[in-house]
A = this chain, B = another copy of it.
């Protein structure tokens, strides 16, 4: 397992689920790495410091990145353009700037203009997580057995790409390279649309009158509860994902709605053959997910 040299000093901007999990990995695997934590609230910094996965904390992103050979943006992607403008002038020559955001086209467009020559921009997306958020929610094992997608620009330095790939492999992930647009299309299907639908169905239920709502909780095990878990994910993070992958999400939502209309029509008309054929096809898909060891 002798890979590239470990990073000497890493700035983690945003100390939520992903970055705090990454910090725990670094603590375990490369204990010599100095970890600088940066967040917008003092409370988050205090929690992170007391959990012991950062060496230094600061509210000032520009200060955080000074002298770092790696900077990882882990805040909601809507903050990236502002952050990049702030930290750009302070990034050390030869440093790598990466992120853990769930959209990649918009991230590149937000960051690239602010990255000085000699700094390597290697956007990334570790596809892992839970419905919990914040520095307390992180754990080192979260990445194990999952996929990490990197979307380096075409002219990216191969050595810088390999260092980021090695970082995520160290965390237990399998790394794939992809162009940003393809990433956004695939994640719109596998992640963004499912979250959108879960948020929507849970929202529909919250609008029901109070009495029914209590019964909804009681009988949630009949199906509804699976949606409540997804729909408990971080609201600001997800707001930014939808706003920053609008095209692909609306495209997938359009297909979903067409299919739903056809299904509604089949139910209204009592077309049992249509329903059974669909449900038989979808059952086979579960097999595919299990075979891909992602169940």
Contacts and interface: CB of A to CB of B under 8 A. Distances in A.
Contacts of A196: 263, 267
Interface string A170-208: 000000000000000111011111111111111111111
Contact of A256 (B200, B222, B233, B285): B200
A228 interface: yes
Nearest to A254: B264
B226 A282 contact: no
B202 A282 contact: yes
B280 A223 contact: no
A139 to B, nearest CB: 16
B218 A292 contact: yes
A7 interface: no
A201 B281 CA distance: 12
Number of copies: 2
B235 A276 contact: yes
Given A203-B282, A259-B203, A283-B235, A289 B217 contact: yes
Given A127-B222, A231-B283, 19 more contacts: A78-B272, A128-B221, A186-B215, A191-B222, A194-B223, A197-B201, A203-B259, A204-B256, A205-B285, A206-B285, A218-B294, A220-B294, A220-B295, A228-B285, A228-B286, A228-B289, A232-B282, A232-B285, A246-B267
12 contacts: A147-B219, A190-B224, A199-B282, A203-B281, A206-B282, A217-B288, A217-B291, A221-B294, A225-B294, A228-B295, A229-B295, A246-B270
